[in-house]
């Protein structure tokens, strides 16, 4: 997982933080240069509690009549958080607030898919 995180950091300068929560294991890393970063302890609970709950709610709503759920974008004051389900967990990616959130999520998740299964 740490290798996947490093590849995402190398390929996308906008990424500040990556967490992969899979099979009840959390892997996360933050760039040293990230400004206005959240506390690592609060990040841990976001990945263990908040993001799984948000994904469950959004997935259930999406499955009713919206064609499912692709991913979530959360707009915090200092950054954007992308959250996407993966088998047995989720990936969470923090982006600079100046990032192009219209195109960047698909580019990142396409890259992640290639890394994960190739």
Q: What is the pLDDT of residues 41-57, one digit of tens each?
A: 888 999 999 999 999 99
Q: What is the pLDDT of residues 60-94, one digit of tens each?
A: 999 999 999 999 999 999 999 999 999 999 999 99
pLDDT for 74: 97
Q: What percent of the chain has pLDDT over 90?
A: 75
State how far the Cα of 43 lies from the Cα of 18, in Å rounded to an integer.
10
């Amino acid at each position: 997982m740490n290798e996947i995180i490093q590849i995402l950091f190398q390929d996308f300068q906008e990424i500040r933080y990556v967490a992969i929560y899979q099979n009840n294991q959390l892997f996360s890393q933050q760039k040293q240069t990230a400004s206005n970063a959240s506390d690592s302890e609060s990040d841990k609970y976001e990945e263990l509690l908040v993001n799984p709950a948000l994904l469950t709610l959004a997935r259930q709503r999406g499955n009713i009549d919206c064609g499912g759920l692709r991913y979530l974008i959360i707009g915090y004051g200092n950054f954007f958080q992308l959250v996407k389900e993966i088998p047995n967990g989720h990936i969470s990616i923090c982006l600079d607030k100046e990032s192009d959130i219209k195109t960047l999520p698909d580019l990142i998740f396409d890259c992640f898919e290639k890394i994960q299964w190739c």
